[in-house]
Structure 1
Amino acid sequence: MKLLPEDLEKIAALTLEHYNQRAEDFREGTRDHDVSQNIAALLRNINATPPFTILDVGCGPGRDLRTFSKLGHIAIGVEGASRFVEMARTDSGCEVWHQDFLHLDLPAGRFDGIFANAALFHIPSQELPRVLLQFRAALKPGGVLFSSNPRGSNEEGWNHGRYGSYHDLAAWQAFMSAAGFVELEHYYRPEGLPREQQPWLASVWRKPEN
């Protein structure tokens, strides 16, 4: 069933409000999460001269913005939850844009890499092709997009106050390929566990040079 514009606005508003109301708890609960495997996957696939310009999509309170900055890169965040925007600006010292997935306004051809860690699964499936094309346009030729999402069997809907879309590998590959990306690698997280104990699907994609 196609979601109407008012449905999409409600999904965005309620999901973002869920995060706004729990911003402090979320920051404390995720402060020590180790996503170094994901950051390394993005950086090693960028074929450019450092420092890289990186867009952290759904940057939350700014944990990964700080990491990219400490590594010497130019990191910019984009975040829909207003409380997280404030936190990320203060905690990271980086530029952070207050935009949600329904109202993205990204500069063309600016970024060497896009880092979308635990963010894109909040996009309703019908809107995902548009958003991916916007990300593709924001990357430089040859730029790289990293994503990590909780995987599923292509179901979507409300889950504990947040809207989520839970794609399997084949569906995610189809979305990304249709948007003009070329797959570089994918893996499941946390590493070193049996597949049924790896709820996260991570993947790395390149925008073609031409």
Structure 2
Amino acid sequence: MKLDPLDLKNISSLTLAHYNEHAEHFWEGTKDHDVGQNIAALLKYIEGKSPYTILDFGCGPGRDLKVFTELGHIAIGLEGAPRFVEMARSHTGCEVWHQDFLGLDLPHEYFDGIFANASLFHVPGSELPRVLTELCNTLKPGGVLFSSNPRGNDEEGWTHGRYGVYHDIERWRGYMAAAEFVEITHYYRPVGRPCAQQPWFASVWRKVGE
């Protein structure tokens, strides 16, 4: 779906406004979610000596940012919703960058890993190749990206005040390969349920070494 600059501006502003408006409710509803499987999946495949420098992409109020820090890693959050930025800084004491997903300003080859848990699906399909390339560029050679997205059949549009893209596995693989990532593994969540009751698709990718 091709979107013009005004469309993209509206997507960002309205989606972020939704999160700002519901920030406290979102925190209460998600602060106890167990995503330990996802955190472990990222850390398992990062090579080199710990502690790792990790970008929590779309860190929200800071739940997972705090976990990475408690595990001894250097964790930096990135978040577009101003209220979430404030909450994440307060809850974790970590550095949190206030950046829109569609207007990133990232250092070159800085991070060992990127944790994109329930965040990249907010990037419109037309902009995803560029955003994934920017994320690839901010990883060190051989660095690892984890993503978790709601499953779908490539539907794209508005749901409950937020813009999202609901990828299938093959389309997602195409996006990631084009950005010079190679697949390490993937799985569906929540674990232990029948496939029809696993709405989340998690995957781990390595930046092609230089």
Pairwise TM-score range, normalised by the shorter structure? over 0.9
Query: How many Å separate the matches in 2 of 1:92 and 1:10?
Result: 30
Q: In the alignment, residue 20 of structure 2 is paired with which amino acid?
A: N
Whole-Å separation in 2 of the counterparts to 1:106 and 1:144: 16
Give the aligned residue type for 1:32. D
Q: Does 1:140 align with 2:140?
A: yes
1:28-66 CA-partner distances (Å, limit 9, x unpaired): 100000000000000000001000000000000000010
Q: Distance in 2 between matches of 1:2 and 1:64?
A: 33
Q: What is the alpha-carbon distance in structure 2 between the residues aligned to residue 141 and residue 180 of structure 1?
A: 11
Deviation at 1:145, TM superposition (A): 0.1
- What's the counterpart of residue 95 of structure 1? 95
Give, as a single letter, the amino acid of the residue that structure 2 aligns with 1:6. Answer: L
What is the rounded CA distance, in whole Å, between the counterparts of 2:101 and 2:31 in structure 1? Answer: 24
**How do residues 117-196 of structure 1 correspond to structure 2 at under 5 angstroms?**
117-196=117-196
Letter in 1 for 2:133: L
The letter of the residue matching 2:119 is A
Q: Secondary structure at the match of 1:103?
A: coil
**How many Å apart are 1:91 and its aligned residue?**
0.4
Amino acid at match of 1:149: N
Aligned residues: 210
What are the within-5 Å matches in structure 2 for residues 24-35 of structure 1?
Answer: 24-35=24-35
CA distance in 2, matches of 1:10, 1:49: 42
Q: Distance in 2 between matches of 1:64 and 1:100?
A: 19
Instruction: Report the TM-score when normalising by structure 2.
Output: 0.99
SS in 2 for 1:101: coil
Rounded to whole Å, the distance in 1 between the matches of 2:166 and 2:176 is 15
1:85 aligns with 2:94: no
1:209 Cα offset (Å):
1.6
Mapped to 2, the partners of 1:55 and 1:48 lie a distance apart of 16
**Whole-angstrom CA distance in 2 between matches of 1:15 and 1:127:** 16
Q: Could you tell me how far apart the structure 2 residues matched to 1:2 and 1:72 are?
A: 42
Deviation, structure 1 residue 159: 0.3
RMSD: 0.5
Structure 1 unaligned spans of 5+: none
SS in 2 for 1:13: helix
The one-letter amino acid of 2:56's match is: D
- Asked whether 1:61 is paired with 2:61, we answer yes
Give the deviation of 1:167 after TM superposition.
0.3
Q: Tell me, which stretches of 5 or more residues in structure 2 are unaligned?
A: none
Aligned position for 2:198:
198
Deviation at 1:2, TM superposition (A): 1.5
Query: Post-superposition shift, 1:101?
Result: 1.1
Matches of 1:71 and 1:170 in 2, distance apart?
Answer: 33
The one-letter amino acid paired with 1:100 is D
Once residues 116 and 93 of structure 2 are traced to their aligned partners in structure 1, the CA distance between those partners, rounded to angstroms, is: 19
CA distance in 1, matches of 2:205, 2:108: 18
User: 1:83-105: per-residue Cα shift (whole Å, max 9, x none)?
Assistant: 00000001011000000111100
Structure 2: distance between partners of 1:70 and 1:101: 26
The amino acid of 2:162's aligned partner reads: R
